[in-house]
């Protein structure tokens, strides 16, 4: 750590030494410990893990803390002026035990304000994350959850999703990621949900786990967490057959997640954290040390390349790296961590460009039934959205568009006046050189000569 950083240390974070359930789950026996020691010398060099701590797929300790420092700084230094990303960040801070009173107060204040002013408009998933964040690790915000009857309000939103599926050929109001978040929060905070609906709608074959035939790892992961909570829910009287069914769903979804493993990542970098959480609670995947090592290496690589710079992305990846899952939100180990480390609140260096801007030329097209093409010049380092703006300036009729702000940045809602609709499962898909983007329009940096496209699609 640089001296300037040391000066800027906001405080020493002290975590207590409470072994997590994962610790016990993945603990190595004495017999294979020696063998593992030899095998993992190389991996420790790469991930910074120390001998003796190689017991679980927890990526972070005092020595290799620097790997995740950018994630924490991203969350600490973000300007939380918009209503979005707050809840995910607060949830993560509480769950992994990062103490920042200032940020906790600010975020929990903003979430409460948002609930007050937009209660009716909040989607099921938004309210679910709010409840998870406010209720994480026994704290006084739980009073508000009770006082404002947030859990029963979430129950009503969950019910509305199910009614919509009944009325509109199985399409929920939002999506299955949000339905799963809602089920998870209802299950953790003793809300009402129907086991019959869960067994009916959460079968792994349901189309809502897929976007255009592609299994959504994010969605599957959230469903595994929710279903695992349901299976463990002691308040629900469940017969053996139902329990077996749900266990089958969990196993099948966990397999689908593993099948999306690519060079250590599960899906892509943005789904890997939650997918890790799902596999921690549902499978033996990370008992295999090699799988753990590969995931950590891939995640740390991506972090060091600066890919994870949105607070929401950082918030969704960090818990798994610290061996935590969203199921820990109501467990006594919530907020406890076996790691001691320092957190700097120094603003990251912002490099000011010294050279004159260079321009690049890209192709851009809008495809509905027929395709409209153009070419635009934008500054080097521009993102997809800049290209859309440049095209719109050239020809309003063909390239006009609208966006809606989300925690992941701008989401393109309409092009040429044609609007995406979750009711019809339509959206504007973004592609570069024929490949779908793995980042949104506000994040994806374009390169000279790229062939960029927005395509009217059905998922
Ligand atoms: N969150 C949500 O409701 C979103 C759930 C989610 C599964 C989400 C990914 C995962 C997450 N962790 O939040 C999701 N995306 C969904 C459900 C959707 C669909 C939204 C439909 C609906 N009715 O809600 C939809 C339309 C299929 C979709 N995502 C589209 C897109 C594309 C956006 C294009 C546009 N019009 O602007 C895009 C860019 C893919 C493309 N090539 O067109 C896309 N999603 C991406 C890349 C992503 C990832 C964002 C990564 C990033 N760094 O920006 C994502 C994390 C996410 C957000 N989508 Co969707 C998935 C990933 O790559 N791992 C709950 C709420 C409370 O916050």
Residue 244 Cα to ligand 1 midpoint, Å, equals 32
Give ligand 1 pocket residues (Cβ under 6 A). 125-126, 129, 174-175, 177-178, 211, 216, 218-219, 267-268, 270-271, 310, 313, 316, 407-408, 411-412, 422, 427-430, 436-441, 443, 459
Residues 306, 414: one domain? Answer: no
Distances (CA, A) of 66 to 48, 110, 195, 350: 10, 30, 44, 19
Residues 214, 272: one domain? Answer: yes
SS (H, E, C) 136-148: CCCCCHHHHHHHC
CB contact at 8 A, 196 and 243: no
Residue 12 Cα to ligand 1 midpoint, Å, equals 36
Q: Is the complex ipTM higher than 0.85?
A: yes
CB contact at 8 A, 251 and 203: no
Residue 404 Cα to ligand 1 midpoint, Å, equals 13
- Separation CA 424–CA 422 (nearest Å): 5
CB contact at 8 A, 438 and 429: no
Q: What range defines the domain where residue 97 resides? A: 30-330
- Residue 414 in any domain: the answer is yes
pLDDT tens, N- to C-terminus, the chain (459 residues): 333 343 333 333 433 322 333 333 333 222 233 333 333 333 433 333 333 233 468 878 888 889 999 999 999 998 887 666 689 999 999 999 998 899 999 999 999 999 999 999 999 999 999 999 999 999 999 999 999 999 999 999 999 999 999 999 999 999 999 999 999 999 999 999 999 999 999 999 999 999 999 999 999 999 999 999 999 997 788 899 999 999 999 999 999 999 999 999 999 999 999 999 999 999 999 999 999 999 999 999 999 999 999 999 999 999 999 999 999 999 999 999 877 655 655 444 555 555 667 999 999 999 999 999 999 999 999 999 999 999 999 999 999 999 999 999 999 999 999 999 988 999 999 999 999 999 999 999 999 999 999 999 999
Range 384-402 burial, b when 16+ CB lie within 10 A, else e? bbbbbbbbbeeeeeebebe
Range 61-74 burial, b when 16+ CB lie within 10 A, else e? beebbebbbbbbbb
> Which of 291, 314, 330 marks a domain boundary?
330
- Residue 21 in any domain: the answer is no
CB atoms within 10 A of CB 6: 11
Say which DSSP state 383 is in.
B
Mutate which of 111, 427, 456 to test ligand 1's pocket (most atoms within 8 Å of Cβ)?
427
Instruction: Write the CATH number for 430.
Output: 2.170.130.30
Q: Model pTM?
A: 0.88
Residues 58, 115: one domain? Answer: yes
Q: Are strands 265-266 and 210-211 parallel, antiparallel or unpaired?
A: unpaired
Count of domains in the chain? 2
First to last CA, the chain: 46
For the CA of 427, the closest atom of ligand 1 is: 26
């Amino acid at each position: 750590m640089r001296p300037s950083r040391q000066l800027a240390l906001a405080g020493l974070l002290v975590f207590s030494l409470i072994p997590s359930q994962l610790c016990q789950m993945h603990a190595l026996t004495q017999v294979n410990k020696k063998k593992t020691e030899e095998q993992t010398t190389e991996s420790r060099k790469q991930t910074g893990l120390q001998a003796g701590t190689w017991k679980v797929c927890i990526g972070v300790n005092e020595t290799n803390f620097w790997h995740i420092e950018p994630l924490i700084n991203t969350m600490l230094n973000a300007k939380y002026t918009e209503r979005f990303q707050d809840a995910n960040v607060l949830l993560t801070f509480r769950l992994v035990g990062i103490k920042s009173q200032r940020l906790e107060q600010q975020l929990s204040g903003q979430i409460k304000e948002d609930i007050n002013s937009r209660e009716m408009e909040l989607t099921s998933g938004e309210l679910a994350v709010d409840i998870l964040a406010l209720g994480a690790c026994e704290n006084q915000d739980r009073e508000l959850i009770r006082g404002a009857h947030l859990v029963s309000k979430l129950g009503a939103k969950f019910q509305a999703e199910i009614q919509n599926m009944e009325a509109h050929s199985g399409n929920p109001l939002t999506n299955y990621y949000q339905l799963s978040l809602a089920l998870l929060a209802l299950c953790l905070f003793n809300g009402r949900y129907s086991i019959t609906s869960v067994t009916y709608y959460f079968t792994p074959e349901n189309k809502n786990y897929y976007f255009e035939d592609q299994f959504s790892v994010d969605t599957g992961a959230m469903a595994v967490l929710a279903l695992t909570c349901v299976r463990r829910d002691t308040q629900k009287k469940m017969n053996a057959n139902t329990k077996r069914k749900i266990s089958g769903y969990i196993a099948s979804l966990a397999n689908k997640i593993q099948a999306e493993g690519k060079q250590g990542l599960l899906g892509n970098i943005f789904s890997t954290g939650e997918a890790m959480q799902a596999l921690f609670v549902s499978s033996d995947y990370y008992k295999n040390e090699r799988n753990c090592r590969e995931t950590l290496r891939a995640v740390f690589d991506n972090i060091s390349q600066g890919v994870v710079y949105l607070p929401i992305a950082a918030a969704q990846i960090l818990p798994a790296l610290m061996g935590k899952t969203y199921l820990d939100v109501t467990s006594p180990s919530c907020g406890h961590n076996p790691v001691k480390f320092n957190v700097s609140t120094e603003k990251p260096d912002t490099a000011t460009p010294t050279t004159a801007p260079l321009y690049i030329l890209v192709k851009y097209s809008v495809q509905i039934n027929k395709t409209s093409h153009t070419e635009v010049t934008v500054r080097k380092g521009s993102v997809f959205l800049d290209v859309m703006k440049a095209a719109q300036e050239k020809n309003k009729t063909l390239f006009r568009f609208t966006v809606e702000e989300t925690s992941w940045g701008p989401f393109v809602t309409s092009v040429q006046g044609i609007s995406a609709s979750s009711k019809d499962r339509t959206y504007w898909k973004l592609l570069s050189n024929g490949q779908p983007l793995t980042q949104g329009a506000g994040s994806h940096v374009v390169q000279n000569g790229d062939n960029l496209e927005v395509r009217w699609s059905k998922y």
